Amino acid sequence: MAKKYIIANWKMNPSSQEEATRLVKGVLAQALPKNIELIIAPPFIYLDLVKKNLKKEIKLAAQNIGWAERGAFTGEVSGLMLKNIGCDYVIIGHSERRHKIGETDEMINLKLKAAFKTGLNPILAVGEKECSDDIIQILNSQIKSDLNGIDVSEIGRLIIAYEPVWAIGTGVSDTPDHALSSALLIRKIIGNLYTPDFAVDLPVLYGGSVTAENAADFIGQTGINGALVGSASLNIEEFLKIIKSAG
Ligand code: PEP
């Protein structure tokens, strides 16, 4: 059975350690289907707590990374710090960081380089802002700028999440057909930049209002390797159903 990724992006939630512990323990309540790579991405402040409560087969991701290695960067967290606390993955270029915080493709490129250098697996989020946007132009531009100067020898650990901004946190998901065609477009862009073989093997996920009801429609597609789940990952019952439907 093909491997599928399920990533829980807790965003800036929950507001206490007790609630974070409850969420992790809730996830452990159900056996993990064998084909699932389950990744939890809590806020920085809960990384250690989540890591200590997780079973080995569930992986930890950060929601962001500083591009510098160390030093005078107040408020930043380096790749080495993330690695040393037990992260295997890091989300980079999430639309909430691009559009609410003003992260540019140049910053995302530096962050990707920092992640590759520290041995983290980056989950690069890309996607158009509006339904009516020119998706071919936007995905080409984001992917080319974000991966600028990154060699094929480093890129083996990359995951790309197609996340149309208009579908994130809105309750209006993309259609499985459109998400699939976007995933194919991403593979085409990557194939042109690197190699067709790499593009075929690249994990491409869908994210945007994934719920227990629609998860299987996205994850069940051969060309979609899993889902990045935001709000629904904070509801244990719903999130367990999503995991089950991916198994
Ligand atoms: C996300 O945080 O990347 C996301 C897709 O959020 P939601 O599932 O809430 O739309």
CATH number of the domain where residue 72 is located: 3.20.20.70
Does the residue 240 lie in any domain? no
**Mean pLDDT score of the chain:** 96
Does the residue 242 lie in any domain? no
Does the residue 239 lie in any domain? no
Query: Pocket of ligand 1, candidates 99, 124, 210: which has the most ligand atoms within 8 Å of its Cβ, to mutate?
Result: 210
Residue nearest to atom 8 of ligand 1 (CA): 230
- The count of domains in the chain is 1
**What is the mean pLDDT of the segment spanning 155-183?**
96
This prediction's pTM = 0.97
Does the residue 143 lie in any domain? yes
Does the residue 236 lie in any domain? no
Of residues 236, 178, 196, 166, the one with CA closest to residue 21: 236
Q: Is 228 in the pocket of ligand 1 (CB under 6 A)?
A: yes
Amino acid 56: pLDDT: 84
Domain that holds residue 111: 4-23+34-230
Amino acid 2: pLDDT: 83
Residue pLDDT, tens place only, 217-240? 999 999 999 999 999 999 999 999
Amino acid 212: pLDDT: 97
**What is the mean pLDDT of the segment spanning 189-210?**
96
Crossing angle of the two packed helices 135-146 and 105-118, in degrees rounded to 10? 50
Does the residue 218 lie in any domain? yes
Does the residue 244 lie in any domain? no
The H-assigned helical ranges of 54-99 are 79-85, 95-99
Query: Pocket of ligand 1, candidates 12, 64, 229: which has the most ligand atoms within 8 Å of its Cβ, to mutate?
Result: 229
Residue 67 contacts by C-beta under 8 Å, 6 or more apart in sequence? Answer: 107, 110, 111, 113, 114
Does the residue 56 lie in any domain? yes
Q: Which residue numbers are catalytic?
A: 94, 163
Residue 117, pLDDT > 80, answer: yes
Identify the three-state secondary structure at position 170: coil
User: Residue 119 CB: number of other CB atoms within 10 A?
Assistant: 12
**What is the mean pLDDT of the segment spanning 66-75?**
97
Radius of gyration in angstroms for the set of CA atoms belonging to the chain, rounded to a whole number: 17
User: Residue 113 CB: number of other CB atoms within 10 A?
Assistant: 18
